[in-house]
Structure 1
Amino acid sequence: MAVNRWDYAKRLTKKMGIWTMILMLALPQLSMASGQSRNWTLYGKPGMASNHFVGSFDNPSGVAVDGAGNVYVADTFNHRIQKRDAATGTWSVINTKTDGPGTGLGEFNSPRAVAVDTAGNVYVADTDNNRIQVFAASAGMQAEWKIIGDPAQFKHPKGLAVDHNGNVYVADTDNNRIRKLDVVSQEWIDYTGFKFPRGVAVDGEGNVYVADSANYSIRKLNASGPAAGTWETISAVYGNGPGQLKYPSSLATDQDGNLYVADTFNHRVQKRDADTGAWSDWKKNGGGSGKLPGEFDLPFGVAVDGNGNVYVADTNNHRIQMHNADTGTWSGWGYQATIAGQGLGEFNSPTGVALDNQGNVYVTDYENHRVQMLDSTGIWREWGRDGGQSGSVAGEFTNPTGIAVTVSGSVYVADRDNHRIQILGVDGVWNAIGQRGSQLGEFEFPNDVAVDREGNVYVADLNNGRIQKRIAGTGQWVEIGYGRGTTPGKFEYPSGVAVDDAGNVYVADTDNHRIQKLDVFLDQWEVIGFGEGNGLGQFNEPYDVTIDSKGNIYVADMSNHRVQMLDISTGSWREWGKTGAQSGSTPGEFSSPTGVAVNGKGDIFVADFGNHRIQKWVFSKPDAPTGVTATTGNGEATVSFTAPAYDGGSAITGYTITSSPGGLTASGSSSPIKITGLTNGTDYVFTVVATNAEGDSIASAASNAVTPMTVPDAPTNVQAKVGNGEATVSFTAPAYNGGSAITGYTVTSIPGGLTATGTASPIKITGLTNGTSYTFTVTAANAAGGSVSSASSSAVTPSVPPAGGGGGSSSLDTITIDVQDGSGDKSGIVSRATLRRTTDAGGRKKDELTLTAEQASQAIEQLKKAGSNTARIVVPDAKDEVSELIVKLPKATAVALSDSKIDLELVTNGVRILVPYASFQGVSQDVYFRLVPIKAAAERKEIEKRAATEPIVSDKLDKTTLIVQGRPMEIETNLSSRPVTLILPLEQKTTAEQAANLYIFIQHSDGTKELIQGELVSYDATGKQGIRFTVQQFSTFTVLEGRRAKQAAANKAYMIGFKDGTFRPDKEMTRAEMAMILYNLSGVGASTHDLAYPDVSGKHWAGTAIGYASASGLMKGAPDGRFNPDRPITRAEMAIIVLRLKAAAATEAATAAFSDTAGHWAEASIRQAQAAGYMNGYKDGAFRPEQTLTRSEAVTIVNRVLNREPLTTNDGKWSDVPAGYWAFGAIQAATIDHTAGKPKN
């Protein structure tokens, strides 16, 4: 890079001019440091400064107030009109263009005056566009900007007024006249005879006042009386006495007819009393410009509201001041910042900063040609020539830059434009080394200096493109590195140099946009960082470098307007500054930082060159967590909370939960945290403390009160008495209620699973089948849930009492059936079992099968002899008449089968059940099965319809092809959570290919559903087939046949987080990031597109994505031809993009209009996006179209457009997105490859 040496030496000064211009044109941005601005302490001269933020001003020249108290400001060099809402106190911009001058409607070029009529219409003197614009607010929803008059007839108009009739008066300044637009005739009337008139006002009686600026006079056109239609002079004396004027610029009148004058070059506002003609003023004591409240610097505008409050456009102080008529005090609006100054502790472009081991801070004050020191007691002192002048004798400086302090306290200064290094010894005497030249020991603009522990001196010899080292003891100079170039060890304009405790040398290799390190042990150079750019670890003209005691590297990344730090332990970078590599002036933002230093505590000092200040970063403790809530369990609680918005500038390392009462604690790294050891039945609240490297936060506000509890113990002593189809069950309440009052009891019958509830013993249960033997269990419930079942009662059998005559009757048949050898092809009889078949009065048949312990023992003995291990019982039902089968296995039977390792198989027309012996192990009660085949066609059809609506079915199967195969089977047992194999018979002959379309739909009694596939097997010796599968829970089983639905498309991740493992969900989404999302969703691969944007280079990290988004029409550039890749995307822009992405129709649905989108350029698209369900407004009825989107908001909207459901089935991917975060599922779905409901491992 060929750079003129002298130009480069002056580059810093020139850069500030460039960035000041950019600052005026830039849109307001949120600072990445705004949440941590209280970590920063500022040293410098405070004052009002120009700024582009809304509510801040750059040379405001005009001010007006409407009848509601709203304030309007002609923000001249920001080329806009700002309005302050009297009700909310908020500022807004009413331009159609907000990023610089423009010539379209609602765009301005240096507007100098603003006026408001009684209808609320806003008039603007659009000075450098030579026209008058009016915003017809009285037109309501049709409000728009219009031009009044012929722009060719105006020349730099600078004053405006509107009388109560609506007539408009214009100070046509450079045409030396006042023009009046008659509201009735719409004709213009000219008044001449003025010299550069700037201000015009009309009082309540219609009298017209003119600030005849270059004639230093006030003229009045009388509206009534003998002098009607004639002009008179109110004041025409040049001077600074009462009523005398120096370039009056603006006028206003109050309701009493008093006249107010912005007496610009006298830096005051004068008031003329309407009754006495006496003059008074507001100004700095003694006169002249001032910056305190009630003092002015070139005020160009004045206005008065209906209450007599006076408003002043304090132009050169970049603020609006208001004088309160009731209190007599001044207040105002504007931007408070640090400004250039010459006093002690004030700076004019500070360049370098250094620290000694006594806590003193040293600063090279570049434009003030001096060195300042802040000692540990807070006192400033200085070295340099008097009056801030440059000088060349010892102890005088010309544009000093770098500075260093040795362990002994000697101060070394890079006296840059004197081409030397100056040294302040501990004796207080200054000495200089070096002179201008290119030989060893000579310098060409030495920019920085460092000294190692051994006293060796290192100099960044800027325009010689080298680092020089002066060897301690000998004074010999040597050159480090290999001269100019781009390879490691070569430099292009090195601006900064530093040395660590090990003697390694670090260089800010400015025009190579990198940091270099010389490892003195290996004698080898390495490049630190990732080259030119504004990403983390990238640089744009790094100007200074320093190293702390831990080896962490800090860089003043000048043209990225930030400071970066490389954590040497993790290899990760962090940054301080404004987002988007923009300059800023709030605490924690920088404008061309040129120096950085770190003390032993880790406090960071930054020479904030363009903001004329030193900033100091101090790590602090975090704020307390918020939103603490608790839920409880058995002797424990789960505490959730929101991490503090302010972490003290240091990563939070953990959280501690504390209970009250008890003071029990639990720790964790994020929300939620479980705390154990609590006492059930005791009320607790919890507080949370956050911890970082600096210590603990204060405790949070207490959580809600909760009471740990568990389910109660089971009831005891269960007994039953029976009647006709019913039983009365009594029991004893449990001794332990789990810490919560028992709210009720449930009695359950075995078999049948019939239930009855009550709040105390006894409880009656009805609906029992007479002639069937029943036992009963009881559960107790509290707020935590239900207990385990009690031990079963003794068996009882309901019956019909003897009848008095007539009525139907039931019959009972006892059938002895075979117990067969079920191993392989064997079928020998090994025992017998008893089947009781009951036929009720309606002909309904029910079977009850019992395999007694004696029968089981006989079967086991025979099976052992045969070397078999399966007992099979086939339940006969040749006519398919049985509606219910109950199989009872006494505990002794189950234990015998388990101990003998004999499996049991039950075969019916509707199901085969194989219970492996292992599933009987450990049973503590009698075992039963209840089997009910669903035979009715209507019931089968109802199950088919219900299954088609279940997502677990419809997601996998085409519901239009669903049919039920065979009979659904309801199976109930108390042998839960133990594997049992079932085979359900098929009605038709089925091939293996057809079996691929068969599924078992399981509806569990707890409400859960499953859809599984089984194995095609033989059902019986007749050739009937069945589907075999294994389960551990029982209820209703249905074989479904249906074609598979279309395979769900894989949901590919379309967004990534950052290298440090964070997602930064609340960071604003930039236009470049949005383009990358669209590109990732397109699946077009690494295709390239021409880039036609001057602000997007071919090397831009999102260049390919921006090219695709532009070529596909999904995103467009700005009217000025730029893409603005780093500008945050607004909600209005997002509405446009999502419609393009989905190719939405151009018709609008009937949706309610938002309160703030009427007339907005994206109004139609916003309505369409709302109608499509992609974007919604806020509770107050607003859409906030110009509000920027965060990364979490953006992915939520994109997922909505893609119909992509939240993904919550796997662990969180990002360290700063806990499971409780509002957009957790949306962020997971956007950043993890997965299919619907199943994350990709």
Structure 2
Amino acid sequence: MMGGRTITKPWLSLVLAVMMVASAGGLLLGSADTADASLSVTPVVQSLSDGASWWYTSMAIDPQDHVHVCYSDGEDLHYANDAGGTLSSLTLEGAHGAGVDCSLAVDGQGRAHISYTDNTDVDLRYATNAGGSWSYEIVDSSGEVGRDSRIVVDDQGVAHIGYIGSGLRYAERSGGEWNVVTLDPDGEDIHAMVLDSRGRAYILYSDGSSHRYAAMTDSGWSLETVVDRSLIPGGSMVLDAQDRVHFTLVNANYDLLYANESTGFWNAQRVATSVKADSPRIAGDDDGRAHIIYTDGQRSSLMYATNLGGSWSSHVIEPQDEGRSVYSGAVVVDSQGAAHALYLMGSPSTNDLVVRYASFTPDVHTVPSAPQELTAVPGNNQAEVSWSAPLSDGGSPITGYLLYWREGAEGVDSSVFVNVTSYLRTGLLTGREYYCKVAAINDEGVGPNTSAILITVAGGTPYPSAPRGLSAAYSDGTVVLTWSAPTYGENITGYRVYRGTTSSMEHLATVNGTTAEDRDLQAGMTYYYNVNAENESGAGEVSETVSVTVPSSTLDDIIAFLGSTGGAVLIAGLAVASIGTAWYVLGRRRAR
């Protein structure tokens, strides 16, 4: 039974949404993850075939990480696997009429299943070695059928084939027989076919004017029109082992875009530009990272793109050779993270196009993981902290550590760099609480820090914290300082007052209370003050610094007043008191 608008999986809505918005020119291009990382690729490349005008190719990987490949030049169907260590090919002699549009899948036992078109009778055929030796069957012989076939195999070893033959058709092998149904009489090309963990098939395909998908449901098949075909030249999708969809498309500007369920329906990521429309092929690994091969439209090189390192990076697998073109074919990823690419290289016009295979393990360099086993041993006004190296160095040697300190839960972090796994912090205040954490560094940057540990400094009476609320006011030739007692600290014996005209402060006076006066001032000068408390352990933390500017008119007013008396007051003052006493009155009297 066919339906019109049934969407059976959330990720199918993703495919629909991304393609629709991209075609309208309104796609929001999101950024990939921003983790600091670098990645290098060194492929091992081998040729699998002689030259021909064209090759049809497909590739799959089995649960034992063996690579399986099929390829055909329209005359002979070839199969290869690397169970013996390297890819070894054989020609399937029983494949009648060669293997145009061949597609390959493997089951849980590592057996191969191949769908292909008989180039002589134009039938859809099926080849498998599931029985131990190769056997061949006709799937559909009702006219010219079998073009653009895609095959998948479920957990029971049942083969499912989507193909073109007077429209989009679907075949399932059940009980030794092939059941065939036409899904869409207007279907013309198949872009991808996937099978979820429940054994349900999904086909991304095109008719003459639009991209569409067909979804298997409990009640049959549901068809959905996605977008105008002219607006989105190409697309591909794959499900990983956790049924997570990875989806690529090339938009009208030939940008390669990527989306998955976690990026959101409307937030695809731009992977590359100037991409050949029908070239992207995608695979997903067990960690949900994407691996894409495509052909660079400007350089005609085979490229590999991945977000394995946390952000997208592209790498050349096969550069363009003079007069030779590159055509992408397939990509798979094994359980160890190695990528395998199948592609064509050469010139169709000179019959030297060959099937090429490249394998490589991306070498990812990231920041280190967090250090381990952070501990602290507090002492008198000090604490020694130590830790062990992180489990992962990120692929690069550890070059040092950043140690973060904070006094109290609300304090501000300060940091110090060390190149060993221990550090002695001195000058800590007795009885205070400090928090410490550490992060490792390599060439990629600073990694995540450990959880913070609490350190309480040992000793006798705690040093006082900073006096609170220091203020300064100028009046009648005197600066009056006031403050409040510190929050922490016992048995305060006095307060030390400091003054300066720059950032350099000098001791001015020691007082018993929470006020002090300064009269040793010069007109027009700015003075800075701070204060700390003392107890039997010593001087505590210094308060915040405040400043006062003495008005420039103060001394002028005094001189003007003295001048108005004709000097009588000045002479009388000197006659009554010594010069030292007179200066003390007009100038400085230290607070005590």
TM-score (norm 1): 0.24
Larger Rg: 1
More helix by share: 1
Could you say which structure has the higher strand fraction?
A: 2
TM-score, structure 2 normalization? 0.45
